[in-house]
């Protein structure tokens, strides 16, 4: 069980770093661009908050590329979603030493483990299978996963990992 807790935490943090609402520039297939924040990906559509247009749902097939304009992250949204499982697992493994060696992060993780929403993720076979197989799109389409992804403790872990 402990192995699954850490697997889910590392996947959660990786996805959080890649997908959590940060500034992006979306290039559409018609050549137009849109600036905003990706909030989620579900049913083949990205939900984007744009300062000028409000909340939009854009079909994946209409997006040519998504580029991060937030200098604190290295990967674009679509890049993370299109990584193969082995590459994504490599990204997850890069986070492990930073997370395990930081007492503040471990304290935050301990608090998160007692969170009922996080515990529900551990009991959800769909989420655990998606985490084990590094299926980012399936995770981002799951409302329970999104809820935990937006939890203040996960955001705190993300900020601490980004600071390292």
pLDDT tens column, 52-86:
999 999 988 898 877 766 544 444 444 455 556 66
The overall average pLDDT reported for the chain is 75
Domains of the chain: 2-163 (2.30.30.100)
77, 38 contact by CB (below 8 A)? yes
> What average pLDDT score do residues 114-141 get?
83
Residue-level pLDDT at 33:
93
> What average pLDDT score do residues 83-97 get?
67
Look at residues 45, 46, 43, 27 and name the one whose alpha carbon lies nearest to residue 35. 27
**What's the CA angle centered on 124, arms 120 and 127, to 5 degrees?**
110
Residue scoring higher pLDDT (101 or 53) = 53
Residue-level pLDDT at 41:
67
Query: For the purposes of burial, counting CB atoms within 10 Å of the CB of 144, is it exposed (0-12), middle (13-18) or buried (19 or more)?
Result: middle
Residue scoring higher pLDDT (133 or 91) = 133
């Amino acid at each position: 069980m402990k192995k699954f807790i850490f697997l889910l935490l590392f996947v959660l943090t990786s996805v959080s770093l890649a997908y959590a609402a940060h500034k992006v520039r979306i290039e559409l297939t018609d050549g137009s661009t849109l600036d905003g924040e990706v909030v989620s990906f579900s049913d083949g559509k990205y939900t984007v908050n744009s300062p000028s247009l409000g909340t939009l749902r854009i079909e994946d097939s209409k997006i040519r590329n998504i580029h991060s304009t937030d200098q604190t992250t290295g990967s674009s949204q679509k890049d993370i979603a299109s990584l193969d499982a082995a590459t994504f697992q490599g990204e997850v493994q890069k986070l492990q030493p930073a997370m395990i060696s930081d007492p503040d992060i471990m304290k935050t993780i301990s608090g998160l483990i007692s969170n009922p929403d996080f515990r529900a993720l551990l009991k959800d076979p769909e989420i655990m299978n998606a985490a084990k197989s590094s299926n980012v799109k399936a995770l981002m389409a799951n409302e329970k996963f999104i809820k935990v992804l937006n939890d203040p403790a996960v955001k705190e872990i993300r900020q601490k990992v980004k600071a390292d």
